[in-house]
Amino acid sequence: MATKKFMYLNRKASYGTVYAIESLEVVLIAAAFEQDVSLAFIDDGVYQIIEGQNTDSIGMKNFSKTYHALGDYDINKLYVSAESLEERGLTEDDLMPLVYEDEDDDWAEKPSVKVVSNAELSKIMSDQDVCLSF
Amino acid sequence: MKISIQINEGPYQHQASDTAYQFAKAAIEKGHEIFRVFFYHDGVNNASRFTMPPQDDRNVVNQWAELDIKDADGNPELVVCIAAALRRGMLDESEASKNGIDGNNVHPAFRISGLGQLIEAGIQSDRLVVFGD
């Protein structure tokens, strides 16, 4: 099967609507298809990977730990919009320290998250074959 | 051109399904192929055969059914995500009997399948067009 560049564009916070968790479900299934996968977090989507999520008082499943598993599925290109962070008073330090093990570098642990400007992100997006927007 | 469509919103609540339908119809009229339409999130509700709009309104579900989007073997290519469907109470005959539920609501022009069908549509098609918020 041909390899294409798939980008999953996450634009909404985790619990107010269903988009975040159902996007993550697609990403995990997609991992089995051995495509070139990347994720982008823009607008309120940046809240999806914020550190220290706690859903105890809203009666919903806290699925934020699942993002830590992405590295094991060879999904290690997570782009975060710098402008979206800044607009919300957030910095990279507020995000979960998501990592992967680089098989080409003696399995060294490396960060999966990359904060990029919207201009850079739009360049990355225009290189994609398929953009799925959630 | 080979085109697939993803629909992320339910009927009537949101324009996504209507716009996608108009798009699909226009594409077919222009000689393009709709490889697959994949219904996700609340979009799975577009497959309910129990949909009963008032007589002076369009029937979104039947409109899709009439487009008759099928593969070469005659299987429906209006595909409803199984995980999204089950958590929203959309069941076909097989899922209903598997789960011991005494009814099913998926229109026969649609079929229930997994998310892999969405990824496959992205791989096989020249374009994957997403409709939703």
Q: What is the CATH number of domain B2-131?
A: 3.40.1260.10
If 0-12 CB within 10 Å is exposed, 13-18 middle and 19+ buried, where does residue A43 land? Answer: middle
Predicted confidence (pLDDT) at residue A1 exceeds the cutoff of 90: no
Helix orientation angle between B60-67 and B16-29, rounded to the nearest 10 degrees: 20
The residue-averaged pLDDT of A45-51 equals 98
Domain assignments of chain B as residue spans, ordered by start:
2-131
Which residues of chain A does B121 touch, with a Cβ-Cβ cutoff of 8 Å?
Answer: none
CA distance B104 to B115: 21
A6 touching B (Cβ < 8 Å)? yes
Kindly determine whether residue B123 and residue A22, on different chains, have CB atoms separated by under 8 Å.
Answer: no
The residue-averaged pLDDT of A104-133 equals 97
pLDDT at residue number B80: 98
pLDDT means per 10 residues, chain B with 133 residues, are 98 97 97 98 98 96 96 96 97 96 97 96 97 94
| Cβ count near A9 (within 10 Å) | 21
Note if B111 is an active site residue. Answer: no
pLDDT at residue number A31: 85
If 0-12 CB within 10 Å is exposed, 13-18 middle and 19+ buried, where does residue B29 land? Answer: exposed
CA distance B83 to B50: 20
Predicted confidence (pLDDT) at residue A96 exceeds the cutoff of 80: yes
A116 touching B (Cβ < 8 Å)? no
Cβ–Cβ < 8 Å for B100, B131: no
pLDDT at residue number A8: 97
Q: Are strands A99-102 and A108-111 parallel, antiparallel or unpaired?
A: antiparallel
Task: Give the SS3 label for residue A86.
Answer: helix
Q: Print burial letters for B52-71: b (CB count within 10 Å at least 16), e (below 16).
A: eeeeeeeebbebbbebebee
For the stretch A81-90, pLDDT in tens is: 999 999 999 9
Nearest CA in chain B to A30: B119
Q: How large is the ipTM?
A: 0.86
Query: Smallest CA–CA separation between B31 and chain A, in Å?
Result: 22
Q: Take residue A104 and report the two structure tokens written for it.
A: 């080409």
Which residues of chain A does B83 touch, with a Cβ-Cβ cutoff of 8 Å?
Answer: 22, 25
Kindly determine whether residue A4 and residue B122, on different chains, have CB atoms separated by under 8 Å.
Answer: yes
Catalytic one among B81, B84, B85, B91?
B81
CA distance A41 to A121: 10
Domains and CATH numbers, chain A: 5-133 (3.40.1260.10)
